[in-house]
Chains A and B, each alone.
Chain A
């Protein structure tokens, strides 16, 4: 470290003492919109993003999470209250939750 200004500016004291698990880094540095569980729930008049981790059939990535799910299928799997949870559980700009799994970019193909 060349000088005291760089030492503080680059947060050197804390960067050199930081202990971080890669899994936690993934969850903390990403948002819901980058999660593999993000799914578009398609209804009759509108399509809204939701969280597939809250659907037991997709939780734990037992089944591949599709890009789109029909609202009727979601209703059949988790019921009306479950659908509410799936839609409100997704907040695109909020920090990823404990269920986050990276991989939206792979699914998206980008």
Chain B
């Protein structure tokens, strides 16, 4: 099989999920956006009917409203998106176990060796498209190619409901004339640096002398040259999601918080959430990161590594506070707070102390976890969540997870 790699990319996924759940919305301009009153007022997704009016993802909701006055604005329902995504990946896994979810609406798939069961890769792509449309009610574009890089580029070539086969002979016509920014892995800063070398298209990058690229960009220069020539040796890794590198939460505050006494409340709530998830996975972590964004949308992110791995809320909170005091002046207002724990390893051993404090904290956390397991996440909250600065109770536990 020449092109065994598939990438299924859902079209306007969030909007399509709402249209699938509520048939009245089908064929209408659906715009999924946050609540401006809670300062989440941006467009997360728009249906193709809304896109025709000029609505784009990331646009402010008021701007979308002015561009598309007849648009139907719906609030995001992340639980539904996750359920739909899981159902789609289940369908893909009916064809091959080699499925690598890439984001909530994209997944790679390797169908090598499946031809005697389901036909060629194009046949499999058609079958997957059909089943997703029939069983889930969402349209998707599928890219079929010899490797992941070309499959990713192919999936973006025909939207909505497209099926594109992109093989090496197609590169000069379909890929090389594209701007270099269109190459997967090239961002704004890299594009600027490539422009300094007079490289504007993928074709120019493909024909650029490799030694010069390697000298200028090191290993990335070599990768860029290979990518521009359509070469990518990355495997489709079905176990990629089983390796958790970090767990974090971030939250945009309903109003600007000023002073440590206000910010500390949110930091503690986030530490509690993060540590709960880390403990659920049977993990402990060492590196605590604190991210803060001010009213000018300028953000600071700082990390500190603990001397021992832990999943205790108290330990993570103590380090997060150290970072807060050290890197954020108390007078500066805060718009967004995030906490994450990285350097995660399986919790196989624990460093105990002389006076039994660690053991006491572990028992307390275990007791809290058992209560939450049985009665739900909202069954047990810290008392600070009841203060005016607490955000979890008001948001009913709906926190953006990163």
- The interface of chain A, by Cβ under 8 A from chain B, is 1, 3-4, 7-9, 11-15, 17-25, 27-29, 61, 64, 94-100, 102-103, 106
Contact = CB atoms under 8 A, between A and B. Distances in A.
Interface stretch (B76-84, B306-314, B315-323): B76-84
Given A22-B277, A24-B104, A7 B185 contact: no
A104 to B, nearest CB: 11
B233 interface: yes
B184 to A, nearest CB: 7
B156 to A, nearest CB: 14
Given A3-B219, A7-B219, A27-B83, 5 more contacts: A14-B234, A27-B82, A28-B101, A28-B241, A106-B369
A23 B82 contact: yes
Contacts of B223: 4, 7, 13
B83 A20 contact: no
Given A13-B232, A20-B101, A98 B86 contact: yes
B373 A21 contact: no
Chain B interface size range: 35 or more
Contacts of B40: none
A61 B184 CA distance: 42
B20 to A, nearest CB: 13
Contacts, number: 95
9 contacts: A8-B233, A8-B234, A13-B234, A18-B240, A22-B401, A23-B401, A28-B86, A61-B376, A96-B86
Q: Which of B83, B90, B241, B370 has the most CB of A within 10 A?
A: B241
A11 B148 CA distance: 10
Contacts of B261: none
Contacts of A95: 86, 89-90, 93
B242 interface: yes
A79 B11 CA distance: 39
Nearest to A96: B86
B83 A25 contact: no
